[in-house]
């Protein structure tokens, strides 16, 4: 974990990174030495990765996000009255270590200070005993006031503050629990939201209806621009605009809150409670991610579930499993855990690097993945009721929401393993491929969790001012599915061809593809090009040539590739940023698939990977290259820096993987 201390406060001018900004010092190689250096680097990386496999067969790297996870964990404990000194001290140690010199907290390494993250971190440190007069706290408070104070923070931050009376519930958008009764065909029913938003919004409707206020241990007057008028009224947009329409809807819902029939409201909250409890996973969590778990616990507690109730006890225990304790005594909270994703990517990397397919590590990984298959319906069946289940989730436990992206990559990983029980593998792959194909949206693409989750109305709600709340098809997920179907012998299947057509239509004018779940156009392009080649497009196809030309045009002077998260907001950053191991690997995977092994760009990229590798076979990568919500929620997957470089090196040394099957076009 590396704290950001660069002190940056806003958007930076895009520029080529200097040599000192790369993760490690770069060793340069002559052209004749690159192949040998690549082979050595791959071997070291194989040994490094093998040494980090769990005895059960899985891999999992830390999933680093930002300090709002840690702050909200402390706020939850304060609200429920379960705070303890050691946890608070360890969380505060981590939060302080992430503060930058200007007093702010960012949401990704090297990024600008974020108002909501800074407010939540500040409040958490106040709970931990840091006084407002301390220099680091005063700097943060001054910065917050300069940017509009609490009133300018996102809705979710102000909800947390309302729980303690630091903000008025009347000044928050309304979301009534009665929406649980909206039929599945009605606009803004809960299944119009992406699964992560759905699991968060349902419990928050209960919290919004209850409007609890627990006594605050201190005031936050220092975070308002004018403590006497803390809640300025936002002017209304024109009634003819979508924004104006939803503002007026919100005012109507506020009025309804005051007159909502008691029996109907109680029935709605009870239905919401049943919905929440039915979706609690075996490990006590909800959806395998921290935010829905936090809000579900608050909602159920408000509905009378005491802390010793089995549902509550299991939920609280699950949150403790999101904690990563560091050697310095600090405690970091993961928003999620990624063992299935990490394991299938590690399996692919090791196999493509030349590990024999019946190697015990690969067989053990396959056994573990087979044990994680999901064979019962989940919420995805609302849109695909007749589709038989099959597939894999992202996390240890998330049976309600198998992940289309993970399922495609798990199948690609299993195909690389020679298993002692091939019939078991074939059956799992058959179920997974059938389910994945059936989750195709009407437009030909694939989203991450649901089919046809494309209504834009949820994004217009005043409540939804943070991150993505819908799950439309994306180029990266669609590419992984197309690649998997092609390797399953279905390159000419109607679904695969529709996916290819969708991808070709989504290519940007510059030749790149947008990256929804990774940063950003380098990730999208690195995912799509290998898929299109696997599906039968020739390397000479115009779309492939445009992609190759774009990747070559954005290669850094040091030979690597990098793209800053600001590319999600600012066009000038597209394809630009300090070189990173994972992004360099994505670019190389695309170029190698396109037949560019002998090109100067590939030679330089491979040289950069080999030259920046540490002696133990690892790479350093403080930059965030994973995406939860574009710009709003960024992720540093700590295993990305290992699995993707090894995959690229392995394909450079051993050639492209050959997993194609004949037949199976039905």
Answer whether residue 461 is part of any domain.
Answer: no
Q: What is the pLDDT of residue 233?
A: 57
Task: From 443, 432, 426, 442, select the one nearest 405 (Cα to Cα).
Answer: 432
192 assigned to active site: no
204-222 pLDDT per residue, tens: 999 999 999 998 999 999 9
Which range has the worst mean pLDDT, 4-18, 409-423, 542-556? 4-18
| Residue spans of alpha helices (H) in 99-213 | 115-127, 135-146, 155-162, 195-210
What is the mean predicted confidence (pLDDT) over 64-84?
Answer: 96
Position 78 in a domain: yes
Model pLDDT, residue 463: 79
Q: Are residues 56 and 106 in the same domain?
A: no
CA distance 613 to 119: 38
Provide the pLDDT for residue 490. Answer: 96
Q: 333, 362, 390 — which closes off a domain?
A: 333
Cβ neighbours, 10 Å, residue 448: 23
Is residue 666 a part of any domain in this protein?
A: no
User: CB 68: neighbour CB atoms within 10 A?
Assistant: 28
At residue 34, the pLDDT reads 92
Q: Is it the case that residue 6 has pLDDT exceeding 60? A: no
Model pLDDT for residues 43-67, shown as the tens digit of each residue: 999 999 999 999 999 999 999 999 9
Name the helix (H) or strand (E) containing 63.
strand 63-64
Domain count, the chain: 2
Contacts of 146 (CB under 8 A, 6+ apart): none
SS3 650: helix
Q: What is the mean pLDDT of residues 613-637?
A: 96
CA–chain centroid gap for 373, Å, is 21
Could you tell me if 500 and 532 are in contact, meaning their C-beta atoms sit under 8 angstroms apart? yes
* Over residues 342-361, mean pLDDT: 98
- Quote helix, strand, coil % in the chain, to nearest 5: 50, 5, 45
348 and 219 both lie in a single domain: no
pLDDT interval class at 318 (50, 70, 90): very high
* Burial of 358 from C-beta contacts in 10 A (0-12 / 13-18 / 19+): exposed
Question: Per-residue confidence at 1, pLDDT binned at 50, 70, 90?
Answer: very low
pLDDT in tens, 319-328: 999 999 999 9
The answer on 399 and 254 residing in a single domain is no
The stretch 257-262 carries a mean pLDDT of 89
- Per-residue pLDDT for 228 more than 70? no
Residues 273 and 290 in one domain: yes
Cα(first)–Cα(last) distance of the chain, in Å?
A: 48
pLDDT, tens digit (0-9, with 9 covering 90-100), for 276-293: 999 999 999 998 898 899
The band of 24, judged by pLDDT with boundaries at 50, 70 and 90, is: very low
Last residue of some domain: 298, 333, 368?
A: 333
Q: Give the Cα separation of 200 and 469 in Å (integer).
A: 10
| Burial group, residue 310, by CB count within 10 angstroms (0-12, 13-18, 19+) | exposed
Cβ–Cβ under 8 Å, residues 614 and 44:
no
- Rounded Cα distance between 361 and 549, Å, is 38
Report the candidate in 87, 76, 309 with the shortest Cα–Cα distance to residue 203. Answer: 76
- What is residue 29's predicted lDDT score, i.e. its pLDDT? 73
Give the per-residue pLDDT at 660.
54
Last residue of a domain, one of 333, 353, 386: 333
Dihedral angle sign, alpha carbons of residues 378, 379, 384, 386: positive
The residues with which 208 forms a beta bridge, in sequence order, are none
DSSP 234-255: PPPPPTTSHHHHHHHHHHHHHH
- 650 within a domain of the structure (yes/no): yes
Examine the domain organization and report whether 395 and 482 are in the same domain: yes
My answer on whether 645 and 587 are in the same domain is yes
Q: Alpha-carbon distance 84 to 33, whole Å?
A: 57
Per residue in 90-139, pLDDT (tens digit) is: 999 999 999 999 999 999 999 999 999 999 999 999 999 999 999 999 99
pLDDT at 664 over 90: no
Q: What span, in angstroms and rounded, lies between the C-alpha atoms of 531 and 485?
A: 9
pLDDT in tens, 139-180: 999 999 999 999 999 999 999 999 999 999 999 999 999 999
Residue 619 domain flag: yes
CA atoms within 13 A on the CB side of 635: 22
Vertex 346, ends 345 and 351: CA angle to 5°? Answer: 100
pLDDT confidence of residue 12: 36
Q: Which residue has the higher pLDDT, 24 or 656?
A: 656
**Residue 571, exposed/middle/buried by CB under 10 A (0-12, 13-18, 19+)?**
exposed
Active-site residue, selected from the candidate residues 192, 399, 405, 450: 405
The mean pLDDT of 336-353, rounded to a whole number, is 97
Q: What residues contact residue 423 under an 8 Å CB cut-off, 6+ apart?
A: none
Tell me the torsion sign for CA atoms 287, 291, 294, 296: negative
Based on the domain organization, do 51 and 97 belong to the same domain? no
User: What pLDDT is stored for residue 460 in this prediction?
Assistant: 84
Residues whose CB falls within 8 Å of the CB of residue 1, separated by 6 or more in sequence, listed in order = 62, 64, 326, 332
The pLDDT score that the predictor gives to residue 234 is 62
pLDDT band at 452 (very low <50, low <70, confident <90, very high): very high
Mean of per-residue pLDDT scores for the chain: 92
How many whole angstroms separate alpha carbon 320 and alpha carbon 306?
18
Pair 325, 342 in one domain: no
CATH number at residue 220: 1.50.10.20
DSSP secondary structure, 576-628, as one string: -SS--HHHHHHHHHHHHHTT-TTSHHHHHHHHHHHHH--TTS-----S--EEE
Span 565-576, average pLDDT? 96
Predicted pLDDT of residue 250: 74
Both 45 and 166 in one domain: the answer is: no
**pLDDT value at 449 more than 60:** yes
Residue 159's domain comprises 67-333
- The answer to whether residue 474 is domain-embedded is yes
Residue 634, domain member (yes or no): yes
Rounded Cα distance, 433 and 388, in Å:
11
Please give the C-alpha separations between residue 354 and each of 182, 439, 526, in angstroms, as whole numbers: 53, 33, 21
Beta strand segments in 288-386, E: 323-325, 331-333
Per-residue pLDDT, 76: 96
Contact 127, 76 (CB under 8 A): no
Statement: residue 31 has pLDDT above 80:
no
Question: Residue 103: which residues within 8 A CB-CB, separation 6 or more?
Answer: 113, 118, 136, 138, 139, 140, 141, 142, 143
pLDDT confidence of residue 663: 38
In this structure, the answer to whether residues 585 and 641 fall within a common structural domain is yes
pLDDT band at 444 (very low <50, low <70, confident <90, very high): very high
Instruction: Say what the pLDDT of residue 464 is.
Output: 80
Q: Does one domain contain both 440 and 313? A: no
Work out the average pLDDT over 69-86: 95
Top-confidence residue, 408 or 240: 408
Q: What is the structure's pLDDT at 25?
A: 52
Whether residues 256 and 356 fall in one domain: no
Instruction: Confirm whether 19 is domain-assigned.
Output: no
């Amino acid at each position: 974990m590396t704290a950001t201390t660069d002190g940056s406060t806003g958007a930076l001018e895009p520029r080529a990174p200097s040599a000192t900004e790369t993760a490690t010092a770069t060793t340069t190689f002559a052209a004749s030495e690159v192949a040998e250096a690549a082979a050595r680097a791959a071997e070291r990386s194989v040994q490094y990765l093998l040494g980090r496999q769990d005895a059960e067969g899985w891999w999992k790297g830390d999933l680093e996000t930002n300090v709002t996870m840690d702050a909200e964990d402390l706020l939850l404990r304060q609200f429920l009255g379960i705070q303890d000194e050691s946890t608070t001290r360890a969380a505060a140690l981590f939060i302080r270590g992430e503060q930058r010199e200007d007093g702010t907290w960012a949401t990704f390494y090297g990024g600008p200070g974020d108002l909501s993250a800074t407010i939540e971190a500040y409040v958490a440190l106040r709970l931990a005993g840091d006084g407002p007069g301390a220099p680091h706290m005063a700097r943060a408070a001054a910065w917050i006031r300069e940017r509009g104070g609490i009133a300018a923070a996102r809705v979710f931050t102000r909800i947390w503050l309302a729980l303690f009376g630091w903000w008025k519930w009347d000044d928050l958008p309304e979301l009534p629990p009665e929406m649980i009764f909206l039929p599945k065909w009605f606009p803004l029913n809960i299944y119009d939201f992406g699964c992560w938003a759905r699991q968060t919004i349902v419990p928050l409707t209960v919290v919004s209806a209850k409007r609890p206020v627990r006594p605050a241990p201190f005031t936050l007057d220092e975070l308002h621009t004018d403590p006497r008028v803390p809640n300025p009224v936002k002017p209304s947009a024109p009634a003819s605009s979508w924004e104006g329409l939803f503002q007026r809807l919100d005012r109507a819902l506020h009025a309804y809150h005051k007159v909502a029939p008691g029996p109907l409201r109680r029935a709605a909250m009870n239905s919401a409670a049943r919905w929440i409890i039915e979706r609690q996973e075996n490990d006590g969590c909800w959806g395998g991610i921290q935010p829905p778990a936090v809000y579900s616990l608050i909602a159920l507690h408000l509905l009378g579930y005491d802390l010793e109730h089995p549902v509550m006890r299991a939920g609280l225990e699950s949150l403790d499993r999101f904690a990563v304790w560091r050697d310095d005594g600090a405690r970091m909270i993961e928003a999620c855990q990624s063992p299935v994703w990490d394991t299938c990517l590690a399996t692919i990397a090791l196999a493509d690097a030349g590990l024999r397919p019946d190697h015990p590590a690969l067989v053990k990984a396959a056994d573990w993945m087979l044990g994680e298959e999901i064979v019962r319906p989940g919420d995805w069946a609302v849109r695909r009721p007749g589709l038989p289940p099959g597939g894999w989730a992202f996390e240890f436990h998330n049976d309600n929401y198998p992940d289309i992206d993970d399922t495609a990559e798990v199948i690609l990983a299993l195909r690389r393993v020679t298993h002692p029980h091939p019939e078991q593998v074939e059956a799992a792959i058959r179920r997974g491929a059938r389910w994945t194909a059936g989750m195709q949206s009407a437009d030909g693409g694939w989203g991450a969790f649901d089919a046809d989750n494309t209504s834009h109305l949820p994004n217009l709600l005043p409540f939804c001012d943070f991150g993505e709340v819908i799950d439309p098809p994306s180029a990266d997920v669609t590419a992984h599915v197309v690649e998997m179907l092609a390797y399953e012998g279905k390159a000419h299947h109607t679904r695969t061809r529709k996916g290819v057509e969708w991808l070709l239509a989504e290519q940007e004018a510059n030749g790149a593809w947008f990256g929804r779940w990774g940063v950003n156009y380098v990730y999208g392009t690195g995912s799509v090009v290998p898929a299109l080649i696997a599906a039968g497009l020739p390397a000479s196809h115009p779309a492939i040539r445009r992609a190759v030309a774009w990747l070559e045009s954005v290669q850094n002077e040091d030979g690597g590739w990098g793209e800053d998260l600001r590319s999600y907001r600012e066009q000038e950053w597209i394809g630009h940023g300090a070189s990173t191991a994972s992004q360099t690997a994505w670019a190389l995977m695309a170029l190698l698939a396109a037949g560019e092994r002998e090109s100067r760009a590939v030679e330089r990229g491979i040289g950069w990977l080999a030259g920046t590798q540490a002696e133990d076979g690892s790479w350093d990568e403080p930059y965030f290259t994973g995406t939860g919500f574009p710009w709003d929620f960024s992720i540093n997957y700590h295993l990305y820096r290992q699995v993707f470089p090894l995959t690229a090196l392995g394909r450079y040394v051993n050639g492209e993987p050959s997993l194609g099957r004949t037949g199976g076009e039905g």
